[in-house]
């Protein structure tokens, strides 16, 4: 135990006052934000107490907990050692590392030995458990390696890694020494990686020899080498975690992590946390824009820690000692917030999973839930819809009674998928809405308070701190109930949201605060508030089509189509039409594609789909064409590439497809249009 822990164990966060209703929380956060967030600040450890809770003198650039000093890694790891040193911090499972792969790549076993920690090999998956005490040691070793190779406070470090524990160590080690990490999703190609290296001016890149997806080996090291070649700003070092899968020829910049870790381990290295002023950046996360330089969303330190810790209590109802599983890649905001940071801040156990929802079989998720007594689940609807296409008996083979709630985000949750989950899990199935920029939920339901019933099709209500409303795009005036508009949030944004775009304050304002009222943050999502006050997201502004002067959200049409009992998933896009401006086109994937191999069946399903849309939305929303591909193009995180589908439908080039996970889906879309 370090001197820091010994000296500061007595200055742990104090208990906050627990309100009786969510309405009390929300009203307090909007009417008296400084008092509200001062109370929430008690949830974390401050090396130096804040001098000012909120500085809103230069909106939209808000500063929270001004003058306060803290450390994100200390709050995630060190402060839990006195009370829960032997509790699991992480449980890592990989259905990619199985006996078949080990037989093909026997060096994998030795690589695990070099990296330490308990490893359990099973026939079809591998497991590693990591207590808080283990995590404390590993993060210190990693931080020591970084410092010995010149990484200091303020330096930027690119992390380009799959879902492995060393990625978590890398993130936390950067936070420990005050370096600014920027995790790049492994689905991005070398060019995208180089752009991010340049914008961040990265001093180091941390990567692996290879990743795995669906049994396919992905050469991460080769992609990094190509990215370094293309980058204008060259990193000084490339730190490589060798998994024993793909041999590589080391380059001058390369550092082998395992051998460097051994030096730190032998020395029992302890790296004292660097205390950061609350508004200093903790990390950058680049949005994956299709053109131009991606925006580097900049997150602060103190506000980030307070916001995530508060959300685990008020939104997710997570308690220390429980197990939280956010099924997301660390390359996305969900992976940052709810796989790495938030569960640790709350003293919970976090599950990290490397694998697909249906490998080695469609029961793998539920098997993991049973084996690890998972209490709270969080993923995107796409993964669930993938399982919905499989044999339903997989849902009944495992004991999932430990689950108390299941949250979904990333795209709107369709009612049929929500019903399917409710039927099999019999727990609250909660759609909620947030963005990379927000870092934590903007709209949600709250199982802790459960003030109001859940309404399917709605992500709920604005969360505390978000003064959100639906406004007219042109005037900025609030919309009436049932009237479509733009979801906007009044500045200041609450703690934990982006503070600016990395080194580009002008782009921050132009991208997010260029509405008629410059103090309104634009989510770039259309929404509507119903007569009961529930918010409904209609999709991105470019996902709303204009048919003969009528605005129609493609999500609304998709919802209607998804009610068809034979529908697995669908995507609706708008294509240009000379007469009506735009027309909706539907691409529908059936549970059984054989259903549309005959003209009779195809016609029957087309008419049923059209009938469902017309019944729900009226004739103006009737799809101009319905295609039946066998798959939809998606990113490796499972998001449907509607941009690519729209381009194919209009006979245009699809553009950059570097994040595409299933290349055959492009051909499937093309073939479905030929078959029409």
Q: What is the pLDDT of residue 7?
A: 44
In order, the DSSP letters of 328-374 are S-TTSHHIIIIIIIHHHHTT-EEEEEES-TTSS-TTHHHHHHHHHT-
> What pLDDT, in 10s, does the model give residues 462-520?
999 999 999 998 888 999 999 999 999 999 999 999 999 999 999 999 989 988 778 99
Q: What is the pLDDT of residue 389?
A: 82
Rounded to an integer, the average pLDDT of 646-668 is 79
d(CA 564, CA 389): 13
Q: What is the pLDDT of residue 290?
A: 33
Q: What is the pLDDT of residue 163?
A: 96
d(CA 383, CA 368): 15
Q: Which residue has the higher pLDDT, 238 or 544?
A: 238
**Bridge-based pairing state of the strands 237-241 and 283-286:** unpaired
d(CA 173, CA 3): 18
Q: Which residue has the higher pLDDT, 266 or 389?
A: 266
Q: What is the pLDDT of residue 658?
A: 64
Confidence of residue 4 (pLDDT cuts 50, 70, 90): very low
Confidence of residue 101 (pLDDT cuts 50, 70, 90): very high
> What pLDDT, in 10s, does the model give residues 105-161?
999 999 999 998 789 999 999 999 999 999 999 999 999 999 999 999 999 999 999
Highest averaged pLDDT of the listed ranges 96-110, 540-554, 649-663: 96-110
Rounded to an integer, the average pLDDT of 313-341 is 96
How much is the CA Rg of the chain, to the nearest whole Å?
24
What whole-number percentage of the chain has pLDDT above 70?
Answer: 94
Strand partners, 286: 296
Rounded to an integer, the average pLDDT of 518-535 is 93
Q: What is the pLDDT of residue 624?
A: 93
67: helix, strand or coil = coil
Q: Is 568 exposed, middle or buried (0-12, 13-18, 19+ CB in 10 A)?
A: buried
CA dihedral 194, 198, 199, 203 (to 10 degrees): 110
Please list, residue by residue across 370-402, b when 16 or more beta carbons sit within 10 angstroms of its beta carbon and e when fewer do: bebebbbbbbbbbbbbbbbebeeebbeebebee
> What pLDDT, in 10s, does the model give residues 162-219?
999 999 999 999 999 999 999 998 877 788 899 899 999 999 999 999 999 888 999 9
Rounded to an integer, the average pLDDT of 321-331 is 95
Q: What is the pLDDT of residue 8?
A: 46
CA dihedral 231, 233, 234, 238 (to 10 degrees): -90
DSSP symbol at 656: -
d(CA 337, CA 227): 27
Q: Which residues contact 483 (CB under 8 A, 6 or more apart)?
A: 470, 528
**Bridge-based pairing state of the strands 376-379 and 405-408:** parallel
Does the pLDDT value for residue 265 go beyond 80?
yes
Taking Cα atoms as reference points, which of 80, 171, 165 lies closest to residue 118?
Answer: 165
Sheet with 323-326, side-by-side order of all strands: 118-121, 126-131, 88-94, 349-354, 323-326, 376-379, 405-408, 429-431
In order, the DSSP letters of 167-210 are HHHHHHHHHHHT-EEEE--TTS-HHHHHHHHHHHT-SEEEEES-
Q: What is the pLDDT of residue 535?
A: 96
590: helix, strand or coil = strand
Does the pLDDT value for residue 638 go beyond 80?
no
Sheet with 254-256, side-by-side order of all strands: 254-256, 237-241, 204-208, 156-159, 180-183, 283-286, 296-299, 500-501
Rounded to an integer, the average pLDDT of 11-27 is 78
What domains, with CATH codes, occur in the chain?
Answer: 3-70 (no CATH), 551-675 (3.30.300.30)
Confidence of residue 11 (pLDDT cuts 50, 70, 90): very low
Q: What is the pLDDT of residue 542?
A: 64
Does the pLDDT value for residue 656 go beyond 70?
no
Neighbour tally for 673: CB within 10 Å: 15
DSSP symbol at 563: T
Q: Considering the chain, what is the average pLDDT of its residues?
A: 90
d(CA 193, CA 180): 16
């Amino acid at each position: 135990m370090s001197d820091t822990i010994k000296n500061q164990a007595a200055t742990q966060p104090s208990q906050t006052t627990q309100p009786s209703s969510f309405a009390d929380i929300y009203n307090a956060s909007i009417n008296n934000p400084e008092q509200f967030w001062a109370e929430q600040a008690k949830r974390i450890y401050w090396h130096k107490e804040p001098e000012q809770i909120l500085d809103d003198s230069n909106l939209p650039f808000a500063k929270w907990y001004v003058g306060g000093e803290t450390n994100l890694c200390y709050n995630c790891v060190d402060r839990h050692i006195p009370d829960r040193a032997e509790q699991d911090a992480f449980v890592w499972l990989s259905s990619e590392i199985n006996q078949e792969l080990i037989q093909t790549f026997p060096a994998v076993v030795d690589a695990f030995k070099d990296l330490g920690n308990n490893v359990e090999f099973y026939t079809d998956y591998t497991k590693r458990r990591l207590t808080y005490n283990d995590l404390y040691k590993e993060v210190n070793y990693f931080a020591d390696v970084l410092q010995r190779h010149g990484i200091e406070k303020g330096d930027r470090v690119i992390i380009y890694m799959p879902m492995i524990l060393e990625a978590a160590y890398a993130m936390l080690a950067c936070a420990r020494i005050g370096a600014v990490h920027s995790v790049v999703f492994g689905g991005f190609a070398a060019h995208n990686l180089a752009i991010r290296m340049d914008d961040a001016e990265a001093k180091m890149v941390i990567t692996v020899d290879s990743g795995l997806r669906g049994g396919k080996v992905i050469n991460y090291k080769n992609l990094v080498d190509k990215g370094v070649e293309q980058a204008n700003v060259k990193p000084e070092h490339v730190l490589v975690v060798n998994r024993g899968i793909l041999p590589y020829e080391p380059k001058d910049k390369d550092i082998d992590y395992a051998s460097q870790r051994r030096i730190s381990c032998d020395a029992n290295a302890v790296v004292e946390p660097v205390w950061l002023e609350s508004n200093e950046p903790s990390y950058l996360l680049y949005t994956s824009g299709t053109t131009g330089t991606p925006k580097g969303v900049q997150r602060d330190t103190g506000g980030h820690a307070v916001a995530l810790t508060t959300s685990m209590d008020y939104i997710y109802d997570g308690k220390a000692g429980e197990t939280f599983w956010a099924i997301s890649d660390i390359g996305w905001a969900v992976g940052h917030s709810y796989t790495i940071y938030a569960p640790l801040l709350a003293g919970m156990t976090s599950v990290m999973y490397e694998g697909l929802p249906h490998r080695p079989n469609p029961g793998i998720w539920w098997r993991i839930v049973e084996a690890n007594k998972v209490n709270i689940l969080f993923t995107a609807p796409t993964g669930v819809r993938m399982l919905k296409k499989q044999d339903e008996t997989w849902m009944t083979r495992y004991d999932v009674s430990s689950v108390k709630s299941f949250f979904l985000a990333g795209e709107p949750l369709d009612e049929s998928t929500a019903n399917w989950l409710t039927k099999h899990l019999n727990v609250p199935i909660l759609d909620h809405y947030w963005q990379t920029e927000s870092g934590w939920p903007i709209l949600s339901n709250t199982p802790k308070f459960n003030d109001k019933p859940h309404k399917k099709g709605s992500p709920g209500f604005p969360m505390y701190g978000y003064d959100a409303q639906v406004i007219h795009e042109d005037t900025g005036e609030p919309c009436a109930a049932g009237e479509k508009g733009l979801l906007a949030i009044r500045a200041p944004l609450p703690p934990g949201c982006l503070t600016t775009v990395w080194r580009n304050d002008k782009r921050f304002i132009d991208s997010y605060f260029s509405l008629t009222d410059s103090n309104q943050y634009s989510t770039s999502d259309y929404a509507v508030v119903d007569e009961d006050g529930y918010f409904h997201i209609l999709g991105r502004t470019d996902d709303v089509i204009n048919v003969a002067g009528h605005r129609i959200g493609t999500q609304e049409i998709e919802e209607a189509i998804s009610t068809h009992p034979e529908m697995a998933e669908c995507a609706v896009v708008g294509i240009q039409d000379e007469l009506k401006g735009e027309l909706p086109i539907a691409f529908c994937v059936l549970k059984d594609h054989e259903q549309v191999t005959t003209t009779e069946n195809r016609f029957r399903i087309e008419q049923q789909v059209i009938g469902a849309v017309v019944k729900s939305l009226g004739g103006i929303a009737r799809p101009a064409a319905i295609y039946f591909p066998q798959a939809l193009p998606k990113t490796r995180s499972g998001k449907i590439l509607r941009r690519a589908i729209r381009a194919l439908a209009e006979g245009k080039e699809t553009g950059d497809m570097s994040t595409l996970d299933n290349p055959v889906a492009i051909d499937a879309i093309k073939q479905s249009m030929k078959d029409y």
